[in-house]
Amino acid sequence: MTAAPTADQQVLTLEVGPMAHGGHCVARYEGRVVFVRHAIPGEVVRARLTEGGEQAKFWRADVIEVLSASDYRRRHIWKLADSLRAEEMGRLPVGGAEFGHITDQHQRRLKGQVFRDTLQRIGGISLHDLNIPQEHADGEIHVEDISRPHSNGLHWRTRVSFAVDPAGMLSMKPHRSNELIELRGMPLAVEGIHESRIFSADFRGAQRVDAVAPGGEGAVTLVVHTLAQAQEQQSLRSRLHALASEDPAVGNILLGVTTPGPQNGRTQNGRSSARRGRGPRGRSDSVTPAQVDVELVTGARMVSEPLPAPAREDRAEVRMRPEGFWQIHRGAPQALVAAVAEMARAEEGDTVVDLYAGAGLFTAWAAQRVGPTGHVLSVEAAGASHRSASELFDGMDEVQTLQAPVERSLEQVRRFLSGGSGSAATVVLDPPRAGAGERVIEGLDQTQARQIIYVSCEPSSFARDAKELITRGWQLDGLRVLDLYPNTHHMESVASFTR
């Protein structure tokens, strides 16, 4: 073997192999695995190494030239995310649209293959061995399109988080890089965000800006996060007021002021002062945020999201904080609730537990399904989302909301399911990317649940949890995979397990 190339500036000619989990294709260079982004299986490309070195187990590379193109290649839908045009401009492509060079249908075909392979590799589960009806009978996963017709997978994101560069412009980072690339729009975002004036506004003094368009329609809410000192904050506030008055697309603006805590995140009494998952991203210092105070700059503090299956007619929307969790594709709430409803066996008078419930999207559907004679328990760890759900179901005796980590509420879940009078105790499970994990699966197995409907945004953790369920005697008897994240490698699945 010749001497290994250095990580930077080396360009390799590669024959591109299959798409792997994570959105890159696998290729080989002198026996070594190279994960290639912006490629399509079957192509021959020239790719620039982005990570490598002699000791590295595998290398990473970005396509900079296509020598033999796939029939499924198209001009990238977003110039800034296109690795070919980025190369011409001497910079890296921004992350977040890594499938934008692949035709829509082929993106879904590749996602289906990745899902099938992940299920097999991590879960040891083959579709041929399962008792799942018609749609996957050929051993393939058919990923369903949920976007508007002819939309090219554009304008679906109702929530986008932007970095802010030193000039105060909204920016995004390339994959695995801290470089900031200024944006002029964000074509995956709904029109209200993409066409607003936020891309020419001056956000100096802010670290991050979250844009939220409830329901995909109407005015945009901005949550602007700052660590700045008082004077700079004041100047930022004035510019935010000016933006709101100039741009009718911008409705509410909130300022999240982070007060840095002591070094290493310890308070004086030795407890951790870190707020999990809420710190501004990309900070290089080791100061841990002690507190985030959110103040209203203009408009309203709360937003309302329409519910596809309201518990009652007069509760058609859920009021929530814009920074709380909600599905990000404008069509996702409707598509996911429809998929869960189709698989669920629960009937009027039954008992349903909604775990990782967020603001109550599936809880509302469950309450509608089982009616006033049924029983629904909704479990969510985050305080703000829990408050939204408890306000939404206030006064409905058939719905209980609980703020707790699922792993610490398994005994309550067990008691709740054993107290139900219906025939089909059902658990809806929609964990974050890491999955539910063995402890939760084991706990659920010890309840009287007859059906678990597992909603997942991460095939690998789903495959691991599915294996745990199947090992314990559950049957995977329903599976749908939905393209909730067009032009990216991500996907969402809804699966039914029964016993």
User: Which residues form the interface with ligand SAM (CB under 6 A)?
Assistant: 325-327, 356-358, 361-362, 379-382, 385, 405-407, 430, 432
Tokens 């039914």 -> residue: 496
Give the residue carrying structure tokens 């959105």: 23
Q: Which two tokens stand for residue 262?
A: 């002591």
Name the residue nearer to ligand SAM (CB basis): 83 or 401: 401
300-327 burial: b if 16+ Cβ within 10 Å, else e: eebbebebbbbbeeebeebebbbbbbbb
Q: C-beta of 302: minimal distance to ligand SAM in Å? A: 16
- Across-strand partners of 261? none
**Residue-wise burial string across 62-73, b where 16 or more C-beta atoms lie within 10 A, e elsewhere:** bbbebeeebebb
Bridge partners of residue 351, in order along the sequence? 375
C-beta of 209 vs 357, nearer to ligand SAM: 357
Count of C-beta atoms within a 10 Å radius of residue 133: 10
Compute the chain's Rg from CA coordinates: 24
Compute CA distances 418 → 198, 318, 426, 442, 454, whole Å.
52, 29, 11, 16, 20
Give least dist CB 355 to ligand SAM, A. 7
Instruction: Name which of 14 and 337 has its Cβ closer to ligand SAM.
Output: 337
- In whole angstroms, how close is the CB of 310 to ligand SAM at the nearest point? 14
Smallest separation (angstroms) from ligand SAM to the CB of 344: 14
- Active site residue: 457, 476, 481, 482, which one? 457
Q: Which is nearer to ligand SAM, 136 or 480 (CB)?
A: 480
The partner residues of 320 in beta bridges, in order of sequence, read: 303
Interior/surface letters 156-192, b for 16+ CB within 10 angstroms, e for the rest: bbbbbebbbbeebbbbbbbbeeeebbbbeebbbbbeb
How far, in whole angstroms, is CA 233 from its chain's centroid? 30
Q: Which is nearer to ligand SAM, 203 or 325 (CB)?
A: 325
Residue with smaller CB distance to ligand SAM, 348 or 407:
407
CA dihedral 39, 41, 47, 52 (to 10 degrees): 100
Does the annotation place 327 within a ligand binding site?
Answer: yes
Distances (CA, A) of 267 to 229, 262, 263, 287: 21, 7, 9, 12
Residue 439: CB minimum distance to ligand SAM, A: 10
Query: Between residues 174 and 459, which has the closer beta carbon with respect to ligand SAM?
Result: 459
Helix (H) or strand (E) run with residue 387 in it: helix 383-392
**How near is the Cβ of 382 to ligand SAM at its closest, in Å?**
4
**Least distance from ligand SAM to the Cβ atom of residue 244, Å:** 28
Single out the residue of 307, 205, 306 nearest to residue 256, CA to CA.
Answer: 205
Distance CA 269, CA 272 (A): 9
Residue 25 is a catalytic residue: no
**Residue closest to 179 by CA, chosen among 254, 99, 274, 89:** 89
Among 144, 109, 164, which Cα is nearest to 329's?
Answer: 144
Is there a binding annotation on residue 400?
Answer: no
Find out whether 380 is annotated in a ligand binding site.
Answer: yes
Residue numbers in the known binding site are 327, 356, 380, 430
Which residues belong to the active site?
A: 457
Residue numbers in the known binding site for S-adenosyl-L-methionine are 327, 356, 380, 430
